[in-house]
Amino acid sequence: MKLFESIPLGKLQLTSRIAMAPLTRCRAVDQNTPNEIMVEYYRQRAGAGLIIAEGTSPSPNGLGYRNIPGLFNQRQLDGWSSITKAVHEKGGRIFLQIMHTGRVGHTNNLPEGARLLAPSAIAQKGEISTYALGKQPYPTPEAMTTQEVHEAIQEFRTCTEMAIEAGFDGVEIHGAHGYLPNQFLLPSRNQRTDEFGGSRENRLRFLKEVLSECCAAVGSDKVGLRISPFSYADVDDEEQELIETYTSVVEMLNPFSLAYLHLSHMGDPVPVKFEMWQSIRKIYQGTLMLCGDFTKETAETALQESQADMIAFGRDYISNPDLVERFKNDWPLSARDNSLWYGDGAEGYSDYPNYNGE
């Protein structure tokens, strides 16, 4: 099967075309710092062709959710180093997803001195869990000054450098699902009047500069990007605006020669827009990864039909640390249990066994 074929990624040679999708698990309970159970959790999943480690903030301002990890200080770097070492010792490969939450956060979740910043002072719809106040409506963020936009771009660069220092094989910029780079792309959330807002070219500038800085820092073969055209975060803009924006994004990407482009789709309530994926496949010249609701069979079909070069699995990797072996041997998958996705400690996290014949 094509799924189990080895594939080059930048200068790496991956053992299969199966990736573990980035999964926020909220276990970094002590000052957003990776810990021992996280080492164990990633070690168990080192059989993936590529692990994309969970969304990790490059800045105190990007820690909008409870207990997500960061990578902007030495303790966090040391914590991540233990994880990359454990994965490499088992022959695995691991990228870090850099996720700045921007307006998708709550001031009660931010550390002291951090601020809820976004392109414009427009609140995200809905509610968010907080440390001390339970569920709360998303607050209205502060609009960043132009200077603060430049500072945020530098935070992505510094985080990328720290990721490589921590032993990651590369980074994935989280440009999907409504987080900071995504917040700049569309007029519903970006109403700036400086060079980072207004025209489409201006709205793409933040993402372009983040990619330029990160590629300049560590090499484009170590930088990937995730986007999610027409995802649940894209409900406030016109269809034509979305098509044109995402087409422009992908056209902008070709000259970068990134490690890969990762397209994500997450089930309900928005159906996947296959035409968009197909048109991106035609425009994009590099390695393309798809994610969202794939099974072993549909993943194989997508590869056979050349819709993509790699497939990432999210929820199945939570309950099946040995997913590649299970696919290879046609072993059954253990059931999904979403009650502990964002829950406490090792339970529902690092206590899923490998297949044991039962």
Ligand X SMILES: Cc1cc2nc3c(=O)[nH]c(=O)nc-3n(C[C@H](O)[C@H](O)[C@H](O)COP(=O)(O)O)c2cc1C
The binding track of 310-349 with respect to ligand X, each residue x by CB under 6 A or -, is ---xxxx------------------------x--------
Q: Which residue has the tokens 């040995």?
A: 322
Q: How far apart are CA 282 and CA 272, in angstroms?
A: 17
Least distance in angstroms from the C-beta of 177 to ligand X = 6
Least distance in angstroms from the C-beta of 2 to ligand X = 18
| Residue (33 or 264) nearer to ligand X, CB | 264
Q: Does 155 bind ligand X (CB under 6 A)?
A: no
Candidates 28-36, 169-177, 181-189, 244-252; binding stretch for ligand X (CB under 6 A): 169-177
Cis check for the bond before 8: say yes or no (omega within 30 of 0): no
| Residue (62 or 197) nearer to ligand X, CB | 62
* Among 49, 55, 175, 181, interactor with ligand X by CB under 6 A: 55
Q: How far apart are CA 256 and CA 310, in angstroms?
A: 19
Q: Does 180 bind ligand X (CB under 6 A)?
A: no
| Residue (228 or 287) nearer to ligand X, CB | 228
Residue 315 near residue 45 (C-beta atoms within 8 A): no
Which of 3, 37, 51 is closest to 345 using CA atoms?
37
| Residue (87 or 233) nearer to ligand X, CB | 233
Q: Residue by residue, what is the 3-state secondary structure of 310-334?
A: EEEECHHHHHCCCHHHHHHHCCCCC
Q: How far apart are CA 137 and CA 126, in angstroms?
A: 6
**Count of C-beta atoms within a 10 Å radius of residue 332:** 9
Least distance in angstroms from the C-beta of 240 to ligand X = 25
Strands (E), 270-309: 288-291
Least distance in angstroms from the C-beta of 71 to ligand X = 13
Q: How far apart are CA 310 and CA 316, in angstroms?
A: 16
Which of 303, 245, 302 is closest to 276 using CA atoms?
245
Q: Does 62 bind ligand X (CB under 6 A)?
A: no
Structure tokens at 260: 């890969």
Q: Phi and psi of 7, rounded to 5°?
A: -145, 140
Least distance in angstroms from the C-beta of 357 to ligand X = 25
Catalytic residues: 179
* Among 54, 155, 213, 234, interactor with ligand X by CB under 6 A: 54
Residue nearest to ligand X (CB): 314
| Residue (103 or 192) nearer to ligand X, CB | 103
Site of interaction with ligand X (CB under 6 A)? 21-24, 54-55, 97, 99, 174, 176-177, 226, 264, 266, 291-294, 313-316, 341
